[in-house]
Structure 1
Amino acid sequence: MRPPYTLTDKILSLVASISEKIGEINAHHLYKPTTELRKKNRIKTIQSSLEIEGNTLTEEQITALLDNKRIIAPLKDIQEVQNAIEVYERLKQFNPSSIKDLEKAHAILMKDLIDKAGKLRTSNVGIVKGSKVEHIAPDGSMVRGLMNDLFRYVKEDPELNLIKSCVFHYEFEFIHPFLDGNGRMGRLWQTLILMQQYPVFEYLPVESLIKKNQKEYYNKLSESDKKGNSTPFIEFMMAIILEALQQVLLAQNHNLSTKDRILIFKEKMQNERFSRKDYLQHFKNISAPTASRDLKWAVEQKILEKYGEQRLTEYQFIG
């Protein structure tokens, strides 16, 4: 059975805008950022998703752990980060339609943090915020059946993946299938559903925008609970996804270094020869002198081979 939600005008408008942005990203070959940017975005994702759950580690400390350096911090926080690093590195190994894979991912994410990591709960739980019970999760005896229904929706329903991922995220938080770690798992699995169709989501730090809008994130989960459908949460998450995609395009225009631009262009051109004009058409927001400096740098670094002079100059990536 399909989970309850309504496709509002706002959702349909967001779908159109997101599709447009993904088209732009694909056209500019930005769906696979350079190694350096991938690492930065992965660190942002891990730091933000865990900070929402109370983890204290900074981006600098997470970078140190990624580089196998020692840091001084609470052991629990270090364990959480090490687990998250491992699960995100193995993201492509998980099938978003498989409950077994969900349990495997949870076992990695919550290793040495809780007793029943990777096991769906069979006991009853309530979510407490401060002194107030925020949400009574479904009875433990219902969890397996509810999760089977949810995964059947993910696997078989013809709904758009963009919407499906948001519905899954909300329903997962509502069911609260594990004793702990549900927030970070819900965000992780939405990413996994999205990246099956849109590779850009593997390294898109959506979690950092959720962290910035954390109060509204919880408010929309609560509003959806009260309404008995995920529509308010879908609208919120789709707006977050759109903003994250806009940031990718903005970064291309304003924040990329010479090296970033050259490596992105290498992904596009492979072994084909090209001119400075071709380079400028790809990076529309840089000037002709900047393009010349980029190409000169790449030649000096032996990344590019240069052929011809002045207007007839062409370039080709080495190796």
Structure 2
Amino acid sequence: MPTPHQPPFTITPRIVALVAEICERVGRWTGEGREAVSPRLRRENRIRTIQASLAIENNTLSIEQVTAILEGKRVLGTPREIQEVRNAIECYDRFGDWQATSAGDLLVAHGIMMKALVDEAGGFRRGGVGIYRGDKLVHMAPPADRVEHGVRDLLRWLETTDHHPLVASSILHYEIEFIHPFADGNGRMGRLWQSLALASWHADLAYLPVEHLISERQADYYAALGEADRRADASPFVEFMLSALRDAFDSLPTSDQVNDQVNDQVKSLVRHLSGSEEVTAAELMRRLDLKHRPSFRKNYLHPALVSGWIEMTDPSSPRSPAQRYRLTARGRRQKH
């Protein structure tokens, strides 16, 4: 009888600690009666996910442009970039139809994700492939004749493993990148399939803005993939993904619904903005007499953004040093 496939990885103390931190956050979330992420937040995070995942693959369309495409509006952009967004929207709309352990579903999803972009959409690659960073070969994927067997072994492992879904889904993501089963679209499929595996454990994790954090930490993302390849051990990548999941969970607002019941912190922030002025986060913290940036972002800034009372001057680059914040029309109305 053939030996079951076992991806190479080590459960490190950091992995154990990160899993515990994330589970504590999930437990606190559900313990506070937050049965589901609100529909509005789901939509906003889904848009951020699509925009960020494609940005990692050099798609230049902004969050506003992705939103416009989702709403059926015309946008200025290259035909390929617009097609990539439309494909990704369709994929995420079909998200609930698929099982992460199904090779057939993986192929169907790839067919949608890469429709009209590559000739082999919906099929495993038929040739060899190397991954380059600039002129440097950083990874030589397994030969094409081993791809289908490797994918099916991996998905059988996912179906039977006793490892925690947070760990197993991260290993799944890494192994998809290692096998590189498709002629193109491997990065976006690896990220999509990890989200699918996570959603089977806890549905709300499908709506975490993990892609957005990966996009911000793109160099670290590729470095973790490279280090895992160098060690022949997925653990460095698992640690990176778990830290991104933890930070993404922390970025959710403190309230389970974003509605007109805005908390006192948001109201306080809005009181310190006037008219159409544009100010930095540092200036807002100074006006509020706050020193701890993570608490400011979690309790004041992010809820105010999600509730639609303030907006970024450059929403396509949320972490830009030049980022400013201003009242929206809704925020100005609420202020008076």
Q: TM-score, normalised by structure 1?
A: 0.79
Q: Cα distance, 1:72 vs. partner?
A: 1.1
Correspondence for 2:183 = 179
Match of 2:231 among 227, 238, 262: 227
Aligned residues of 2:41 and 2:258 also touching (Cα < 8 A): no
More helix by share: 1
Shift of 1:127: 1.0
Structure 1 unmatched ranges of 5 or more: 262-284, 287-319
1:41 to 32, 42, 45: 45
1:80 counterpart residue number? 84
The TM-score normalised by the length of structure 2 is 0.75
SS of the equivalent of 1:252 reads coil
- Give, in whole Å, the separation in 1 of the partners of 2:178 and 2:76: 36
* Equivalent residue, structure 2, for 1:101: 105
Counterpart Cα distance in 1 of 2:194 and 2:185: 14
The size of the alignment, in residue pairs, is 261
Residue from 15, 20, 26 that aligns with 2:24: 20
Tell me by how many angstroms 1:32 deviates: 2.2
Shift of 1:133: 1.3
Structure 1 runs (4+) deviating above 4 angstroms are: 253-257
Which of 1 and 2 has greater Rg? 1
Partner residue in 2 for 1:193: 197
Which letter maps to 1:209?
A: L
Deviation at 1:24, TM superposition (A): 1.2
2:95 to 91, 94, 103: 91
* Aligned equivalents of 2:52, 2:89: Cα separation in 1: 13
- Hey, what's the Cα distance between the residues in 2 that align with 1:52 and 1:31? 31
Q: What whole-Å deviation, never above 9, does each CA across 1:218-249 have from its counterpart, x for those lacking one?
A: 0000000000010100111111111111112x
Structure 2 CA distance, aligned partners of 1:34 and 1:131?
45
CA displacement at 1:257 relative to structure 2: 4.2
Q: Distance in 1 between matches of 2:227 and 2:86?
A: 33
How much has 1:253 moved relative to structure 2?
Answer: 5.4
Contact 2:37 2:256 in 1 (8 A): no
Matched residues in 1 for 2:221 and 2:139: separation? 15
Q: Is the 8 A contact 1:34 1:260 kept in 2?
A: no
Matches within 5 A, 1:4-153: 4-30=8-34, 32-153=36-157
CA drift of 1:145 comes to 1.2
Q: Distance in 2 between matches of 1:97 and 1:233?
A: 21
Residues 2 and 153, structure 1, Cα contact 8 Å, conserved in 2:
yes
Q: Is contact 2:38-2:257 (8 Å) kept?
A: no
Compute the displacement of 1:259 (Å): 5.4
Q: 2:260 is matched with which residue: 258, 261, 264?
A: 258
Task: Give the secondary structure class of the aligned counterpart of 1:134.
Answer: strand
Aligned identity (percent) is 43
